Amino acid sequence: MEDMILYHRLQFAFTITFHYLFPQLTMGLSLMIVYFKWISIRTKNEHYNDAAKFWMKIFALNFAMGVVTGIPMEFQFGTNWAKFSALTGGIVGQTLAMEGMFSFFLESSFLGMFIFGEKLLGQKLHFVTGVMVFLGSWASGYLIIATHSWMQHPVGYEILENGTFVLTNFSALFKNPWLLPSYLHNQAGSLITSSFFVSAVGAFYVLSNRQKHFGQIFLKAGVIFGCIASVVVAFPTGDLAAKNVVNYQPATFAAMEGIFETEDGGAEIVLIGQPDMVNKKLDNKIAVPNILSFLTYQRWDAQIKGLNEFDEHQHPTNIPGLYFAYHIMAGLGTVFIAIMLVAAFLLFRKKLYDSNWMLWILMFMIPFPYIANTAGWYTAELGRQPWLVYNLMRMTSGVSPTVSSGNTLFTLLGFVGLYLMLGLLFLLLVLKIIRRGPEPLLTP
């Protein structure tokens, strides 16, 4: 059973990690495309219109890859986690169905209109189609995170005698206190990914002295959006999300921060350290006294509960993995703030386009927002384990008992090979679009 659960988890972790590489760019990018289109209408500057259409090509490619990689992931609810689907489908199926029926079709329909309908629609209606793509993209994220939030903090439900979960209050799904902070934190993270991506392409154009004007447009937009998003992802959204963990999953919070023993009179915040699970302590730690208490409760001497306060069956399954995922996310988030603030300062001083050292930094930062966002999702998922539905359903109660570990391992290897080819194809197509640069899209 343990091997079977391990392979089921590995397969789902791989497919969802690969899948999320694409929507985390499209959600933020959709807002920036709307910005470019709005500026083009307001200023009558055709360069901004070409910029909007250029980035919509990359958006469309990401969207297609997201669809292709998302469908197998959804099938795994029925193949690998059939008992979970059977018992909770009456609740999680509500939001997942709404995401497919409303958000996906809204996004895909207006995406086609934006790409092919500019001449037919005119500039203002063309702008409206861009707004609808943005709304569909962000609504999709909202409904997915509403599902995830219910698994983290279940509300509005009743459990029948046969163990089936039924929804007793539909509005409770969207009033869930876990939902809004998680959603805003996720969207800010997505905007960081798109901002660094746009900035990196702009830096490439400026450094290579090709399409320099578009490079400057991309740099300006990327740095402005990135500076705002990098701050917002930490405060208030990150702060609110962390306080939800404190209130509803205190054992998870202790594991995230590496607190094994309750700290009275003020808890330190650990910058660097390695969990020692044998001796229940952090090795080689570098910490700042009392900061964690202040950030959590706005009091320097507030008590922070350690893992010793909770029964071991309530502890997260993989404490070192949770600890490192959280600190990778938080550490990279701090780096993003520093880089974008310096870049914004240079932009304000009209020195950014000539500061080659900063342009190189922005160009080579492309992979790190992806790493940070992935680490953030791992933090949320590892923090909930061993529960599928927090405090109500453990993994052993939701797995498909008839799907063997051998079958799962075989299909996992198939996914790895297929996704590797898809990933290489995607990179080649994106590089081809970037190398060609902004140009008007073909329209009928």
> What contacts 156, CB < 8 A, 6 or more positions away?
91, 167, 168, 169, 170, 171, 172, 173, 176
Q: For each of the chain's 444 residues, which pLDDT tens digit applies?
A: 567 888 999 999 999 999 999 999 999 999 999 999 999 999 999 999 999 999 999 999 999 999 999 888 888 888 899 999 999 999 999 999 999 888 888 888 899 999 999 889 999 999 999 999 999 999 999 999 999 999 999 999 999 999 999 999 999 999 999 999 999 999 999 999 999 999 999 999 999 998 899 999 999 999 999 999 999 999 999 999 999 999 999 999 999 999 999 988 889 999 999 999 999 999 999 999 999 999 999 899 999 999 999 998 889 999 999 999 999 999 999 999 999 999 999 999 999 999 999 999 999 999 999 999 999 999 999 999 999 999 999 988 999 888 888 889 999 999 999 999 999 999 999 999 999 999 644 443
DSSP states along 232-251: HHHTTHHHHHHHHHHHH-HH
Whether 307 is in a domain gets the answer: no
- Distance, in Å, from the CA atom of 38 to the CA atom of 34, rounded to the nearest integer, reads 6
- Distance, in Å, from the CA atom of 306 to the CA atom of 312, rounded to the nearest integer, reads 12
Q: 152-185: b or e for each residue (b if 16 or more CB lie within 10 Å)?
A: bbbbbbeeeeeeebebeeeeebeebebbbbbbbb
- In the structure encoding, which two tokens stand for residue 417, read together? 């090979």
Whether 332 is in a domain gets the answer: no
Cα Rg of the chain, angstroms: 23
Whether 209 is in a domain gets the answer: yes
Whether 328 is in a domain gets the answer: no
Nearest to 86 by CA among 410, 401, 382, 408: 401
List phi, psi (to 5°) of 393. Answer: -140, 120
Q: Tokens 């660094």 correspond to what residue?
A: 196
Whether 227 is in a domain gets the answer: yes
Nearest to 235 by CA among 311, 181, 301, 292: 181
β-strand partners of 78: none
Whether 304 is in a domain gets the answer: no
Report the domain count for the chain.
Answer: 1
- Distance, in Å, from the CA atom of 64 to the CA atom of 1, rounded to the nearest integer, reads 36
- In the structure encoding, which two tokens stand for residue 270, read together? 């650990």
Helix intervals (H) in 153-211: 172-175, 179-207
Whether 351 is in a domain gets the answer: no
Whether 88 is in a domain gets the answer: yes
Range of the domain at 47: 2-245+401-436
Label residue 90 exposed, middle or buried (CB < 10 Å: 0-12, 13-18, 19+): middle
